[in-house]
Each structure stands twice: as structure tokens, then as C-alpha cells.
């Protein structure tokens, strides 16, 4: 870790597999709303988890974290094991009066090529995170900083924005919100999305043609 504290209070699960980033990138070209329609509106996080800084769109694999309210030791520990394309998905127990993520952790995320950060809790330093470009989604923004005592968990399933987030599954976001997708349905999802997108393109063309003929 980049901080000199003990991480003995953090329980780390290892050995979980990550979904194929190539398959996730293939579906990332479609809007989250369209993906949600194809998945029967399942897997979309509550609207309280919204874009607060950085680029508005992202895709990657879930690295789930559980933190105590207002404490970010688990996030520091998780970044030791983070891989390119990981998205930190943090259950911070919905605490909005203490931020658990800011620009210094953002710098480490950029170093580790973390794709995005999604936090059911609060963040701070949003101007700096905006400049960095790191896609950051959270429940709230608050300038009060965190403690670093733990306990916490890394790599075990967590709830974030009312959605269960399993390690290694797909996660994508845009200005509309965030969606979580089981890795098991990724191989067939791109074709289903293409079918839905083709229908919507055709529908728009018919509407525009109808308007033009009036």
C-alpha cells in the first residue's frame, strides 16, 4: 500500500476470475438504457448512484469492496491487487457525511489503470478527479475525509446501489447510470443488443420519414 498502516483488518478473497474485457468492450458501444431494456430492466443501480466526476462513460470488471462507514483502508488494500480494466465497486454503507475516496486514491487508480470507481457512499476532490478523467460515480459528495482503520473486505460480493455485484462480472456506466451484468450472459448479449438497436434505428427512421411527409 502507499500508506504506512496495517491492513490486518481487511479480509481479501483471491482466485476469482474476471470476465472477458473484449466481450464487455463490444457491448460498451450501446447506451446503458438500451442494454437495460434487453436485460428486462434488471441489474441497473439505483439512480442515487450517479456520475460525479471524470469521464461519464466506462466499462470493466467488478472488483467489489466492503468498507466501514467513513473508512477507506479496504480501498487502499484493494488497489494492491487491482488489474487494468477493474472497476472499484464499493459498498460504503451509503454513508454520505464522510468521503471514502478522493484525488490521492484517484492517482493510484490511474497508475493501476483502474477503469472507474462506483461508490455507495461519498467522494470528495471532484474538481481534481474531473481533471484526471477517472470515471467516478457515487451517492454523494462531501469534503470530510475518511479514517483508515478498517475493517473491510476485498473480492467478496457486495451490494451497491441496490444491486448485488459479484467479483469479475461486467459493469458499465454512462450519463444515464450504471448496469451490472453477469459474465455468463456476455457471450450472447452483443447479438441481442444489435437486434434491439436495429429495431430502434428503424423506428426512428419511420418516425422521421412520417414527419417529413406531412
pLDDT score at 191? 95
User: 10-212 maps to which CATH number?
Assistant: 3.50.30.40
pLDDT score at 205? 87
**Residue 152 clears pLDDT 80, i.e. is over it:** yes
Non-local CB neighbours of 152 within 8 Å, separated by 6+ positions = 9, 10, 11, 65, 66, 67, 68, 71, 73, 74, 77
Non-local CB neighbours of 131 within 8 Å, separated by 6+ positions = none
Q: How far apart are CA 157 and CA 51, in angstroms?
A: 22
pLDDT mean over 142-164: 98
Cell of 144: 470530510
Q: Collapsing DSSP states into helix, strand and coil, what is residue 137? A: strand
pLDDT score at 54? 98
pLDDT score at 18? 97
pTM for this model (two decimals): 0.95
pLDDT score at 211? 73
pLDDT score at 208? 87
> Sorting pLDDT into bands at 50, 70 and 90, what band is 83?
very high
Quickly list DSSP for 67-91. E-TTB-HHHHHHHHH--TTEEEEEE
pLDDT score at 72? 98
**Residue 213 clears pLDDT 80, i.e. is over it:** no
Spans of all domains in the chain = 10-212
pLDDT mean over 129-137: 98
Quickly list DSSP for 50-73. EEEES-S-EEEEEEEEEE-TTB-H
Cell of 7: 491492513
pLDDT mean over 15-36: 97
pLDDT mean over 155-170: 98
pLDDT score at 214? 63
pLDDT score at 75? 98
**Residue 103 clears pLDDT 80, i.e. is over it:** yes
Amino acid at each position: 500500500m502507499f500508506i504506512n498502516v496495517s491492513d490486518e483488518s481487511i479480509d481479501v478473497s483471491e482466485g476469482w476470475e474476471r470476465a472477458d474485457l473484449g466481450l464487455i468492450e463490444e457491448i460498451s458501444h450501446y447506451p446503458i438504457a438500451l442494454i437495460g431494456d434487453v436485460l428486462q430492466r434488471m441489474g441497473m443501480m439505483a439512480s442515487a448512484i450517479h456520475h460525479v466526476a471524470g469521464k461519464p462513460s466506462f466499462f470493466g470488471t467488478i472488483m467489489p469492496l466492503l468498507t466501514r462507514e467513513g473508512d477507506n483502508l479496504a480501498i487502499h488494500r484493494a488497489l494492491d491487487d487491482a488489474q487494468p480494466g477493474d472497476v472499484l465497486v464499493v459498498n460504503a454503507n451509503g454513508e454520505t457525511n464522510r468521503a471514502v475516496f478522493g484525488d490521492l486514491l484517484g492517482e493510484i487508480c490511474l497508475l493501476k489503470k483502474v477503469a472507474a470507481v462506483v461508490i455507495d457512499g461519498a467522494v470528495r476532490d471532484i474538481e481534481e478527479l474531473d481533471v484526471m478523467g477517472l470515471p467516478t460515480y457515487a451517492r454523494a459528495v462531501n469534503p470530510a475525509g475518511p479514517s483508515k482503520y478498517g475493517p473491510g473486505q476485498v473480492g467478496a460480493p457486495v451490494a451497491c446501489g441496490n444491486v448485488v455485484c459479484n467479483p469479475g462480472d461486467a459493469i458499465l456506466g454512462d450519463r444515464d447510470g450504471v448496469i451490472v451484468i453477469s459474465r455468463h450472459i456476455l457471450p450472447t448479449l452483443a447479438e441481442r443488443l444489435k437486434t434491439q438497436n436495429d429495431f430502434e434505428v428503424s423506428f426512428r427512421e419511420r418516425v422521421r420519414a412520417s414527419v417529413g411527409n406531412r
